[in-house]
Amino acid sequence: MRITLIINPVASSVTRRARVVIQKALAADHHLTVIETARKGHASRLARGSAKSGAEVVVSLGGDGTVNEVANGLLDQDCALVPLPGGSTNVFARAIGYPNDAIEATGVLLEALAHQNIRRCGVGLANDRAFLFHVGAGFDAAVVQKVEERGPLKRYIGHPLFVASTVATWLKGVDRKNPWFSIESDDGQKVDNAQLAVALNCNPYTFLGNRPLDLAPESTLDNPLSIIGLSSLALHRLLPAAAKAIRSDEGIGDGRSTSHWKNVTGATITGHRPFPYQLDGEFLDPVDELRLDHRPDGIQLVLPVSTE
């Protein structure tokens, strides 16, 4: 099988030893090409070029941002994606069943290739850019922005940095009184004033250590999107919602200040003012409107045999 391994050399968990072991393992029974990314956005072009040159599988070794770029390069292509965990969180790789250790995950990948366990799965689109596990707007994105502002610490501190950034953002990083946007699905569901929105293409939203944060457990790669909306950031509204996501597998339900929409094929987030958003954990520039769509069978994935 023709495989391209795209490596983000600055990803937090990509070590020299891991690279050597993974390359040797993949090259033992397959035709392997290895390429390193050189800048932001590079992985998309490399993945697209690999697919057009005849690669059957593109393996991403990096964090969720690298996986997202590769996915956008492979959207609607006849070439499969594998996310090997090389970042600090590795949400998507873990969500579809790969171990959080890159070398161990390579063994799982080789087993999946031996069984030809490759199938098409759905992706989300946010203003026409694909996302694999979620896109978040408003408060959610403001937290991601604060984490990225402390980029060097992310490599060493990891999950505690996300918790600290959430607290810091709530205290002085956002306007909690004035809603950011409205959310409206194509089937007529609507929230006029919201502070946070998350659209999920699969579950969980993220991991806190080994604990999944389940906002919408029904969300899978075979279903349309799930959308969570929060109209209030008051602690007596926010903390119970967060606790339910952490402590149960029921997700966040409908409530006085929360909305939970299932099987959404399309929706629009319209800002009352420009609002920040993040896509698969990458902070992006504020927008006035965010169009969300679901594309069934948008990408091919090599899935661990145990998930089938």
Same domain, 226 and 251: yes
From the list 145, 174, 187, the residue with the least C-alpha distance to 292 is: 187
Region of residue 127 (left: phi > 0; alpha: psi -120 to 50; beta: else): left
Neighbour-count burial of 165, counting CB atoms closer than 10 A to its CB (0-12 exposed, 13-18 middle, 19+ buried): buried
Sorted by sequence, the CB contacts under 8 Å of residue 1 that are 6+ apart come out as 30, 31, 56, 57, 113
Same domain, 149 and 291: yes
Q: CA-CA distance, 38 to 43, in Å (whole number)?
A: 8
Same domain, 146 and 287: yes
Which CATH number fits the domain that encloses residue 164? 2.60.200.40
In-domain check, residue 303: no
In-domain check, residue 304: no
Same domain, 135 and 245: yes
From the list 288, 273, 177, 271, the residue with the least C-alpha distance to 232 is: 177
Same domain, 160 and 52: no
pLDDT for residue 308: 47
* Domain coverage including residue 81: 2-116
What are the DSSP E strand ranges found in 41-167?
57-62, 80-85, 118-126, 129-131, 134-138
In-domain check, residue 121: no
Residuewise pLDDT in 10s, the chain (308 residues): 999 999 999 888 889 999 999 999 999 999 999 999 999 999 999 999 999 999 999 999 999 999 999 999 999 999 999 999 998 889 999 999 999 999 999 999 999 999 999 999 999 999 999 999 999 999 999 888 877 776 655 554 556 766 777 777 777 777 888 899 999 999 999 999 999 999 999 999 988 778 888 999 999 999 999 999 999 888 777 777 777 776 667 788 777 789 999 999 999 999 999 999 999 999 999 999 999 999 999 999 999 997 54
pLDDT for residue 89: 86
Residue-wise pLDDT for 221-263, tens only, equals 999 999 999 998 887 777 777 777 766 677 887 777 899 999 9
Same domain, 277 and 246: yes
Same domain, 210 and 279: yes
In-domain check, residue 300: no
pLDDT for residue 153: 54
3 state SS for 245-265: HHHCCCCCCCCCCEEEEEEEC
Query: What are the Cα distances from residue 76, in Å, to 52, 55, 291, 299?
Result: 12, 14, 19, 6
Same domain, 189 and 283: yes
Total structural domains in the chain? 2
